[in-house]
Amino acid sequence: MKKRQLALSLGAIVGGTFLYHASAEASASTVQVKAGDTLWSLSTKYHTTVEALKSVNKLSSNTIHIGQTLSIPSASTSQPSNKEEQPSAPSTGSTYKVQSGDTLWKVATRFNMSVEELKRLNALSSNIIYINQTLKVNGSNSASTPTTSKPAETPSKDANGTYKVQRGDSLSKIASTFHMSVSELKQINGLTSNTIYVNQQLKVSKSSETTTPTTKPSTSTPSTSNGTLNVSQMISEAKRYIGVPYKWGGTTPSGFDCSGFIYYVTKQQISTTRYTTAGYWSVSTPVSNPQPGDGDLVFFNTYSSGPTHMGIYLGNRQFIHAGSSTGVTIASLDNSYWSKRYLGAKRFSK
Beta-ladder partners of 136: 95
Nearest alpha carbon to residue 204 among 267, 240, 156: 156
The pLDDT > 70 percentage for the chain reads 73
Predicted TM-score (pTM) of this structure: 0.42
Name the band, by pLDDT with cuts 50, 70 and 90, for residue 299.
Answer: very high
Which amino acid belongs to residue 76? S
Long-range contacts of 253-259 (CB under 8 A, 24+ apart): 256/322, 256/327, 256/328, 257/36, 257/322, 257/324, 258/309, 258/310, 258/311, 258/321, 258/322, 258/323, 259/310
C-alpha span between 274 and 128 (Å, rounded): 30
pLDDT digits (tens, 9 = 90+) for 69-117: 988 876 544 444 333 334 444 434 588 888 877 887 788 778 877 777 8
Beta-ladder partners of 233: none
Confirm whether 258 is a catalytic residue.
yes
C-alpha span between 279 and 324 (Å, rounded): 19
**The pLDDT value given to residue 43:** 75
- Is pLDDT larger for residue 151 or for residue 277? 277
Please determine, for residue 15, whether its predicted confidence score (pLDDT) is greater than 70.
no
φ, ψ at 318 (rounded to 5°): -110, 145
C-alpha span between 302 and 337 (Å, rounded): 9
Say if CB 34 and CB 66 are below 8 A apart.
Answer: yes
C-alpha span between 226 and 285 (Å, rounded): 10
Say if CB 266 and CB 234 are below 8 A apart.
Answer: yes
- Is pLDDT larger for residue 169 or for residue 92? 169
C-alpha span between 3 and 89 (Å, rounded): 64
Which amino acid belongs to residue 330? I
- Is pLDDT larger for residue 17 or for residue 157? 157
pLDDT digits (tens, 9 = 90+) for 195-228: 777 778 888 875 433 333 333 333 333 334 444 7
pLDDT digits (tens, 9 = 90+) for 231-276: 889 999 999 999 989 998 899 988 999 999 999 999 988 888 899 9
User: Which residues, at least 6 apart from 244, have a Cβ–Cβ distance to it below 8 Å?
Assistant: 105, 253, 254, 255, 256, 322, 327, 328
- Among 25-39, 42-56, 142-156, 254-268, top mean pLDDT goes to 254-268
Confirm whether 309 is a catalytic residue.
yes
Burial of 317 (0-12, 13-18, 19+ CB in 10 A): middle
When the pLDDT of each residue in the chain is averaged and rounded to a whole number, the result is: 74
Q: Exactly one of 47, 65, 179, 258 is catalytic; name it.
A: 258
Lowest mean pLDDT among 39-48, 123-132, 177-186, 199-208: 199-208
Maximum separation of any 2 CA atoms in the chain, in Å: 108
Write the CA distances from 81 to 44, 105, 108, 120, 150, integer angstroms. 8, 20, 21, 30, 28
